Amino acid sequence: MDWGLQNRLSRIFKPATGRTVMLAVDHGYFMGPTTGLKNLRETISPLAPYADSLMLTRGGLRTSVDPAVDVPIVLRVSGGTSIVGPTLADEGVTVSFEDVIRLNVTAVALSIFVGTEHERQTLLSLTDLVDEGEAYGIPVLAVTAVGKELAKRDARYLGLACRIAAELGAHIVKTYYCEDFEKVVENCPVPVVIAGGPKLDSELDALRLAYDAVSRGAAGVDMGRNIFQSDHPVAMIQAVRNIVHEGATPEAAHAEFLELKEKTDDA
Ligand code: R5P
């Protein structure tokens, strides 16, 4: 692996732990003004100091992130569909590689839709992106997207999709946590991070999800709604960090969350 690509990966996966807490705030590319992201700048600013990377679109980056911010950017470069359209799977590449380089990003992210009628186009978009990423030393994160079919989130399907992404050259795979998650990780030769998915009932549930994922081999989280839709997002991201980087139990991290939410003014 080339030095530049390795260096960028080590900006995302902290060398001290080999893990990462990525903050996903790219949802607007197909969901529009999602709860918690109506004002992207207001959401991102207090959370960025606690994130190992920000995953977002180029529009979000240019409009809502201070260029002086010292946090690696993972740029969402796929899209072209919406939550009100006929299918979420019909994505294409939305950003030229010239603009990727101009934006000085640390990695690029693209969704693949394995098992859909758009499987081939999204997988070939991934391979084109890997070719460009390898040429310029920029890692590619593949998201094993399920669109509106959340029931697809089982180890058999996610294991298949993660392995295909890695075989096609993705340097990082983002998927969902599931029962038998360790099998997904064991069969994937590149680091796996998990999405949080829709907001869970409580912060403790989300912390349990993060704990279970890293305990079963995830290299971290790329979490969005379960952080920024919390009533106390700054306390929440710190509690997630405690699990991912310090090995805290969900209960200990939740106790920290309760303590921090009293001290911080982030409701
Ligand atoms: C979906 O593909 C988007 O990339 C989101 O960023 C992703 O689902 C992670 O966010 P959440 O934790 O809210 O699921």
Say how many Å lie between the CA of residue 1 and the centre of ligand 1.
28
Ligand 1 binding pocket (C-beta < 6 A) is: 24, 26-27, 55, 111, 143, 145, 195-197, 222-226
pLDDT tens, position by position, 73-105: 999 999 999 999 999 999 999 999 999 999 999
Q: How far is CA 5 from the centre of its chain?
A: 18
Q: Which residues does 199 contact at the CB level (< 8 Å), separation at least 6?
A: 206, 225, 226, 229
**Average pLDDT for 188-208:** 97
Per-residue pLDDT averaged across 165-190, rounded? Answer: 98
pLDDT at 100: 98
Task: Answer yes or no: are the C-beta atoms of 53 and 20 closer than 8 Å.
Answer: yes
Half-sphere exposure of residue 30: CA atoms within 13 angstroms, side-chain side: 23
Measured in angstroms, how far is the CA atom of residue 171 from the centroid of ligand 1? 18
pLDDT tens per residue, range 21-40 = 999 999 999 999 999 999 99
pLDDT tier at 265, thresholds 50, 70, 90: low
pLDDT above 60: residue 267: no
Q: Residue written as tokens 């992130």?
A: 65
Fold of the domain built from segment(s) 3-263: TIM Barrel (3.20.20)
Give the pLDDT of residue 264.
77
Separation CA 59–CA 46 (nearest Å)? 19
pLDDT tens by residue, 147-174: 767 677 799 999 999 999 999 999 999 9
Q: 174 CA to middle of ligand 1, Å?
A: 9
Give the pLDDT score at 146: 84
Catalytic residue ranges: 174
What pLDDT score was predicted for residue 263? 86
Q: Which two tokens stand for residue 165?
A: 């992404």
Q: What average pLDDT does this structure show over 173-187? A: 97
